[in-house]
Amino acid sequence: MCLTRRLWCSESAMTMTDRILIIEDDPEIAAAVANEVRALGCEPSHRDTLDGGLTESASGDYRVIVLDRMLPGGDGVDAIAQIRAGGSRAMILVLSALGRAAERVEGLEKGADDYLPKPYEPEELRARLRALLRRGTIQVADNDLMAFGDLEIRLKARTVHVRRSHVPVSPREFALLTFFAQNAGHVVTRMQLLETVWNLHFDPGTNVVDVHVGRLRRKLEEAGAHVIRSVRGEGYLFAQSMAGEPGGG
Amino acid sequence: MAADPEPRLVLRRTVFWRPVFWRPVLRARATLRLAGLMAAAVAVLSLGAMALQYRLVATRLTEAQKDLLSADLSGLGALYDQRRIIALRQAIDYRAASGGQELLLLTDRHGRILAGTEDRWPADVAPQGAGFDLSTPQEITRGTGRWLVVARELPGGFGLLAGRPLAPVDATLAALKRGMIGLALALLAAAALVGWIAARQVMGRIGRLNRLADQVAAGDLEARLPGPRKADEFGLLETHMHHMLDRIESLNRATHRLSDTIAHEMRTPLNRMAARLSAINGQEETVSQLREEMRGAIRIFDALLDISRAEADHGSGGGLLPVNLSTLAEGVWELYEAAAEEKGLIPVADIAPGLMVLGDRTLISQMLANLLDNAIKYCAPGDRLRLTLSPGPLHLLEIADSGPGLPKGMGDEIFERFTRADRDRGIRGHGLGLALVRAIAMRHGAKLSLPATGQGLTLRLEWPPLTSG
């Protein structure tokens, strides 16, 4: 898993572990989140009030802050501006019981980097934490060409080639493939795809996303690239079996 | 299919769409009617009083002339008693020479005039009786006016005619009539003026309340009337209205707070359950089923909260931004088109570009997703699914399918919460999708209807367009 570590812990992995701040008043949920954080190889610290969290976010060097909304002391989303004003450059993941579409959009509009409604599934939380940890470092790897073995994605030309032959994909399929490629080696959930590829922030209840992923997957497999596989109950995994590295990395 | 394409929802919207400018006229109508009624009542009463007065004056003046005539007659009677015709002749000659107002005439039995103010016995007067009293007076018209006369045949065939003019009475009455008409007109004008001023004052006070009600209806629950309130019935009404608004506002706040609290109290234990589920090993099938159940429960619960929130925000423009309906429709269509094709349907979209509305992006997407999901769910392979968006005075968005259509006997009630046809028991769902569609349509002021078509189900949404200013 050398590739994985290098992607999400980047240069800081050499010196210290990434720290994640959890601001959450429910001790049981805080403990569960802390477990997920440790499972990612990062170091959690926990505050159970908004004020405590604000102070801690300003003093500590955190990569990600997991922020609840209905906290003793106020609404976490309203405090995002204060967290930023305190000098923190951490990615903010709001984890809240206020999970209706309108509330998620509100959270994102007020500056959250991601928004996960409770009850969450541990896989979903892990996927989103990983994606946030990777953000910021992915730009370094940003280049025109992303290559995964036989599969080549040219970002500027927006073309996909497998074994040098062109695979025609729709603009949406290209966006889907790019998002998969940027998260290569990690589980990507359906909600993540809906939110980032379609910019829709509600749970449609049906697996409309599966149809699109299925089509892209068939196109790639017909061309000879077996890069997408579904992970039962979690989502999709891209390029895990491929030994190749991203071309720009 | 609904026979009536104008459901209750549409009627409610019509109120919302009424142009604002003619509202004051409508509001003023009741007040003006009242003022007009009051003016008319005053005018009728005054006219009645004047008519009575006219009658009294007319009677009084005629009586005065009768009294004069009666005095004339008794004077002539006294003379006749003393020296018969000679005295009468002398007296009448004297009176005729002195040029009095009265009419006097004495003739012999051949009708020759012995004395008098006239040179001829009037043709339309026949002598009646022989006494010098006022019985059987007659009214005749001579020259320019009316006269009250008494004609007698005295013993020996002498004719006597005595009369007094009614012209002064008529002149006075005519003057009175002119005065009264002028007064009546002035009264009507004054009543109208007073009515108008009163109506204006009432309208002003009521207008304040109406403007407040409009503001509240437009979603501003915090709107209140500025300034102090007078200690009259309007002031009392304003106070009552303020109390009512305070109550509505606090209830609305409580509703919002409650839905947040419910969300927190329900999702937090579910979250613990989810966390514990992930600790279970070796029963992936059960765990994944339980998770799907939990997701389903959350979806129902979110839909209910979304519906009540959209309904609570209905009519308020707050939170709505200009959005490109065409782009939204294209995005959601693109997401569902693949699923429709996969199921074997024939999806066709005809979306006019660049149509803007004032809306909430997420709500509109959710609504379109619900509609398309619904259509795909109920259609069978081979059915057509069509999304049309076309511009117009109202942007027209239609989702039509050639599927089974509405169950028999069902119409607009499909938009009610938890309404499901017995026919559809086997298909997943809770009967909340279309209720949410209706709530979101209402939130955006869009008219939702089920136009009658031959086959399948067509759902029409008419959006108030956003004109770039």
What CA–CA distance (Å, rounded) separates B375 from B367?
12
What CA–CA distance (Å, rounded) separates A128 from A191?
10
Flag if B363 and A101 touch (Cβ within 8 Å).
yes
- What H or E segment, with its residue span, contains residue B464? none
pLDDT at B127: 87
**Is there a domain that residue B3 lies in?**
no
pLDDT at A14: 38
What confidence tier does A7 reach under pLDDT thresholds 50, 70, 90? Answer: very low
What confidence tier does B61 reach under pLDDT thresholds 50, 70, 90? Answer: very high
Strand partners for B357: B323, B465
Strand partners for B348: B386
pLDDT at B71: 92
> In the listed set B160, B192, B217, which residue is the last one of a domain according to the structure?
B217
* Residue B229 or residue B328, greater confidence: B328
What CA–CA distance (Å, rounded) separates B399 from B451?
11
Query: Is the pLDDT confidence value at B145 over 50?
Result: yes
Query: Is the pLDDT confidence value at A208 over 70?
Result: yes
| A114: alpha, beta or left? (left if phi > 0; alpha if psi -120 to 50) | beta
User: Are residues B109 and B156 part of one domain?
Assistant: yes
Q: What is the dihedral of CA A116, A122, A126, A128, to 10 degrees?
A: -20
**Is there a domain that residue B7 lies in?**
no
Among B76, B65, B139, smallest CA distance to B105 is for B76
Query: Do B436 and B408 contact (CB within 8 A), yes or no?
Result: no
Flag if B260 and A120 touch (Cβ within 8 Å).
no
What are the φ and ψ backbone dihedral angles of B394, each rounded to 5 degrees? -125, 135
pLDDT at A45: 92
What confidence tier does B84 reach under pLDDT thresholds 50, 70, 90? Answer: confident
Residues in chain B closer than 8 A to A233 (CB atoms): 284, 287-288, 291
> In chain B, how many domains are there?
3
> In the listed set B312, B333, B358, which residue is the last one of a domain according to the structure?
B312
* Residues with Cβ within 8 Å of residue A193, at least 6 apart in sequence: A176, A179, A209, A213, A235, A236
Flag if B274 and A26 touch (Cβ within 8 Å).
no
Strands (E), B17-112: 103-107
pLDDT at A184: 86
Shortest distance, CA A121 to any CA of chain B (angstroms)? 6
| CATH number of the domain to which B194 belongs | 3.30.450
**Is there a domain that residue B349 lies in?**
yes
Half-sphere exposure of B121 (CA within 13 A, CB side): 21
User: Are residues B63 and B73 part of one domain?
Assistant: yes
Query: Is the pLDDT confidence value at A117 over 70?
Result: yes
Query: Is the pLDDT confidence value at A9 over 50?
Result: no
pLDDT digits (tens, 9 = 90+) for B263-322: 778 888 888 888 788 778 788 788 888 888 888 888 888 888 888 878 777 666 566 889
Flag if A120 and B271 touch (Cβ within 8 Å).
yes
User: Average pLDDT of chain A?
Assistant: 83
Flag if A202 and B274 touch (Cβ within 8 Å).
no
User: Are residues B326 and B185 part of one domain?
Assistant: no
pLDDT digits (tens, 9 = 90+) for B430-467: 778 888 899 899 888 899 998 888 788 999 999 999 87
**Is there a domain that residue B383 lies in?**
yes
User: Are residues B188 and B97 part of one domain?
Assistant: yes
Task: List all residues of chain A from 3 to 32 with a beta carbon under 8 Å from chain B.
Answer: 26, 28-29, 32
**DSSP string across B334-371:** HHHHHHHHHTT-EEEEEE-TT-EEEE-HHHHHHHHHHH
Residues in chain A closer than 8 A to B295 (CB atoms): 203
pLDDT digits (tens, 9 = 90+) for B182-217: 988 888 888 888 888 888 888 888 888 888 888 887
What confidence tier does B256 reach under pLDDT thresholds 50, 70, 90? Answer: confident
Query: Is the pLDDT confidence value at B17 over 70?
Result: no
User: Are residues B456 and B385 part of one domain?
Assistant: yes
Flag if B365 and A100 touch (Cβ within 8 Å).
no
Query: Do A116 and A124 contact (CB within 8 A), yes or no?
Result: yes
User: Are residues B283 and B167 part of one domain?
Assistant: no
Query: What is the DSSP secondary structure assignment for residue B454, as one 8-state letter?
Result: S
Query: What is the DSSP secondary structure assignment for residue B223, as one 8-state letter?
Result: -
User: Are residues B146 and B95 part of one domain?
Assistant: yes
Share of chain B above pLDDT 70, in %: 91
- Best interface-test mutation with B: which of A106, A211, A217 has the largest number of B CBs within 10 A? A211
Query: Is the pLDDT confidence value at A101 over 80?
Result: yes
Q: Are strands A235-238 and A228-231 parallel, antiparallel or unpaired?
A: antiparallel
What confidence tier does B389 reach under pLDDT thresholds 50, 70, 90? Answer: very high
Domains of chain A with bracketed CATH: 2-134 (3.40.50.2300), 145-238 (1.10.10.10)
Among A14, A246, A6, A8, smallest CA distance to A141 is for A246
**Is there a domain that residue B54 lies in?**
yes
**Is there a domain that residue B460 lies in?**
yes
pLDDT digits (tens, 9 = 90+) for A146-193: 888 888 899 888 999 998 899 999 999 999 999 998 888 888 988 899
pLDDT at A6: 41
Domain that holds residue B449: 317-469
Share of chain A above pLDDT 70, in %: 87
Average of pLDDT values for A70-97?
Answer: 89
**Is there a domain that residue B18 lies in?**
no
Query: Do A42 and A93 contact (CB within 8 A), yes or no?
Result: no
**Is there a domain that residue B64 lies in?**
yes
| B377: alpha, beta or left? (left if phi > 0; alpha if psi -120 to 50) | alpha
Strands (E), A2-111: 19-23, 43-47, 64-67, 70-71, 74-75, 91-96
* Residue B136 or residue B24, greater confidence: B136
